[in-house]
Amino acid sequence: MKEEQPSLKKILQPYLLISIAGLFAFAPVSFMLRSLKNDIIALEYPINHFISQSIHNGEIPYWFNTWGMGFPLQSNLTWGIFSTPQMLFSSLFNYNIYTLHIEFMFFVLLAGWGMFYLLQKHILKDQNLSQLLAICYMLSGFMVGSTQWLLYITAAAFIPLIISSLLSLLKNPSLKKSIQFAIVYTLMFTSVYAAFNIITTYSLAIFILLWFLFFEKEKNKRVSRLKYLGVAAFFTILLCIPCLYYTMEVLKNIGRGSSITTDVGFFNSNYLHPYSLSNLLLPFTSVKMNFTNTEGTMLHSYMGLFILLLLPLAVWRTVKEKNKPALFLLIAAFLFLLTSFGGVTPVRNLLNILPGFPYFRNPAIFRLYFIIALIIFIGIAFRNKNMKELFFLKNLETKTIVRLTGLLLTICLIVVFLNINNLETSSLSNFTAFVRKINYKSSLLISSIIQACFLIIILLLIKSNRQDLLRITFTLDLLINTLICTPFFSVSSSSISEVNAILLPSKGFPLQLKGPDDVTTTYMDSKNNTWHNINIFRKEISTKDAYRGPLTLNNFYSDSSATKNKVTKTKNLVVYFENDSTTSSIQLLIQRPTNIKASVNVEDSSTLIVLQNYYAGWRAFYNNREVEIISDNRPGMSIKIPKGEGIVEFKYERKLVWLAALALHLIVILFLVWKGINGIRRHRVKSPYPS
């Protein structure tokens, strides 16, 4: 008898529940109550706003003219036009701070959806276990601690989908599965912090090798698997090579194009300190943990009480049953954990023998792979189990979980007893003051009380056989612990409207009224908070230092004193004469990212300078005739112009960059649309009545 196809409603229900958990866990963000903060506001928001403004005003967004006097948007180092999700959000919306919050929540939820899809399709039979493990992943400490880096969140969203695509390809090799893997990998490759691409690619290669050595069951399919893996590799390289090529081009023109291992302190910074693993039980403590050369955002690794209660039992079952796949994943999780410790162990430095690893720091990002490996390990260990068998049958497994719950409860109560005098209750009436003044011992006490309450409830629910309430409790544990950490890691004390008023984004690309030396790049508000890159929202070029991160072109020149010596009468323009005279004149006509145009009148031949970094793609014209650009006469680019009146124009054109990006976006979008239509057709609800 043919198995009945589940309805679309039944298929979507767990995704809806995962969405509800994510939306409420990040309520200050999802309900627009408070603004996101730090790097996501200082870096990713202005970049996305700029790209969107370019698209909506007829500009190809491949030259970022207000970022350190110009930077090409053609790589996957931190941002670029090859990311289909980024281009879709920028094109479909007139990108503002509200769009940023929507985009952030989309990728948080996508992480949960992707993990559930992976577990349910390839690993677990029980939907409830898959759903809980997916929520554990979506609301893990990595997600909460990484909220200021959108490109970390996108990595967490795409990696489960890549693993699922690869497993589908290995189990049932076909051309469709090969193309699917290539597209999903490309989405990740173009949309995440580059370090995740390096780590993920090596991890996938090792996994494929281990699959063929130890786990391949149908040997007769080996030739087919190898053939379609080759096809997948071909399409992956084909789709990624334009972005990779132009990324390598950028690397040759920035300071980060070489290894950073020579600066040992910098290279090992932002690691996961071994002592911080206490937040696997007491997550709120991570907000005030203090270790040298790292910070709380890199220390948060919580995965929920559900994971903590199942982990010892999963290890015991793996050893007892000699479960080889689970054992390999457990070892992988342990190695990723050791790597995340940075310089504390030699593992991270040993990886530098592999190409790519010496070029990025932040060892704590490896804890994402630790979390992924651990969750999949638990899924494999309990592949044929369900919630009832684990928590309510009063067998050895249930008794073990009850004892573990009691042990964790005892630990929490001891911590409460030892720190009961450390909570400053007087500050609770003022939440903002409480957040700012809280110390480590207070966070330890609060976390212990919260976790003790949850553990007591778990024991009572197991005893009373309340399965639905137990699932809700495990979800609430993650939801509450995420919610109380967001004021520290995720959101500022300012509302979205307040932040919008400070940044004051403008539409279009008006002529700049201030001289580049007078344009400020930072602003300090009444709360002594510093806001960076504010000039980007006004579309103003500045010679002053900004919060650029490591990506600055080698020929960037920010010494404003040097330009002041050269700029006198025309200092209010981004175009000026090197040697000004009282009889020369300039009128700026157009100032757009890829086109700067001015009318000039000089009594003698002169050198004219435009304040943009020189990069391949810039061309200069005088009276519609191309002239040579002098690129080594910093600041900016220079051209020689003759005596008399004329029109000067600088244009930036990289047609191949844009055509390659456009072709990639069309391929990805067409595939996603086709995939969506097929999914709806396959699972649509059929009417029980004849038409």
What is the structure's pLDDT at 253?
Answer: 86
Give a yes or no: residue 685 inside a domain.
no
Domain boundary among 441, 466, 489: 489
What is the structure's pLDDT at 569?
Answer: 41
Q: Do both 262 and 146 map to the same domain?
A: yes
> Does residue 46 surpass a pLDDT of 50?
yes
Question: Residue 587's domain spans which residues?
Answer: 560-653
**Regarding beta strands 637-641 and 585-592, do their DSSP bridges make them parallel or antiparallel, or are they unpaired?**
unpaired
Higher pLDDT, 558 or 54: 54
Question: Which residues does residue 596 pair with via DSSP β-bridges, in sequence order?
Answer: 591, 650
Q: Do both 478 and 613 map to the same domain?
A: no
What confidence tier does 75 reach under pLDDT thresholds 50, 70, 90? confident
Kindly report, residue by residue over 369-383, the tens digit of the pLDDT: 999 999 999 999 999
Q: How many CB atoms lie within 10 A of CB 121?
A: 13
Element spanning 664, H or E:
helix 655-683
Q: List the single range of 241-245, 304-308, 342-346, 394-398 with lowest mean pLDDT.
A: 394-398
Give a yes or no: residue 641 inside a domain.
yes
445: which 2 tokens?
A: 């006490």
CA distance 37 to 641: 47
For the chain, give percent helix, strand, coil, nearest 5: 60, 10, 30
Kindly report, residue by residue over 166-186, the tens digit of the pLDDT: 999 999 999 999 999 999 999
Q: List the single range of 356-365, 505-514, 562-571, 594-603 with lowest mean pLDDT.
A: 562-571
Mean pLDDT value of segment 477-499: 92
DSSP letter, residue 687: P
Q: Do both 353 and 251 map to the same domain?
A: yes
Buried b (16+ CB within 10 A) or exposed e, 469-497: ebbebbbbbbbbbbbbbbbbbbbbebebe
CA distance 56 to 222: 50
**Percent of the chain surpassing pLDDT 90:** 61
> Does residue 462 surpass a pLDDT of 80?
yes
Cβ 302 vs Cβ 140: under 8 Å: yes
Average pLDDT, the chain: 88
Q: Do both 364 and 228 map to the same domain?
A: yes
Q: Do both 82 and 220 map to the same domain?
A: yes
Give a yes or no: residue 305 inside a domain.
yes
CA distance 610 to 72: 17
Site of tokens 């490996």: 373
What is the structure's pLDDT at 579?
Answer: 75
Radius of gyration of the CA atoms of the chain, in A: 28
Domain count, the chain: 2
| Dihedral of alpha carbons 274, 278, 284, 289, sign | negative
pTM of this prediction? 0.92
Give a yes or no: residue 33 inside a domain.
yes
Q: Do both 457 and 601 map to the same domain?
A: no
What confidence tier does 426 reach under pLDDT thresholds 50, 70, 90? very low
265: which 2 tokens?
A: 């302190």
Please list the alpha-helical segments (H only) found in 222-365: 222-251, 264-267, 305-321, 324-340, 347-350
Q: Do both 109 and 30 map to the same domain?
A: yes
Q: Do both 566 and 482 map to the same domain?
A: no
Q: Do both 458 and 575 map to the same domain?
A: no
Give a yes or no: residue 689 inside a domain.
no
Q: Do both 291 and 206 map to the same domain?
A: yes
CA distance 636 to 65: 12
Q: Do both 221 and 94 map to the same domain?
A: yes
CA distance 91 to 85: 10
Kindly report, residue by residue over 603-635, the tens digit of the pLDDT: 888 888 898 999 999 999 999 999 999 877 667
What confidence tier does 684 reach under pLDDT thresholds 50, 70, 90? low
**Contacts (Cβ under 8 Å, ≥6 apart) of 453:** none
Give a yes or no: residue 671 inside a domain.
no
DSSP letter, residue 492: -
CA distances from 328 to 372, 374, 422, 497, 591 (A): 13, 11, 43, 49, 58
Q: Do both 464 and 570 map to the same domain?
A: no
Kindly report, residue by residue over 133-155, the tens digit of the pLDDT: 999 999 999 999 999 999 999 99
Kindly report, residue by residue over 122-132, the tens digit of the pLDDT: 999 999 999 99
Give a yes or no: residue 581 inside a domain.
yes
Give a yes or no: residue 308 inside a domain.
yes
CATH number (domain holding residue 572): 2.60.220
Kindly report, residue by residue over 249-280, the tens digit of the pLDDT: 988 888 766 778 777 888 888 999 999 999 99
What confidence tier does 423 reach under pLDDT thresholds 50, 70, 90? low
What is the structure's pLDDT at 190?
Answer: 94
CA distance 580 to 569: 7
Site of tokens 């939440």: 431
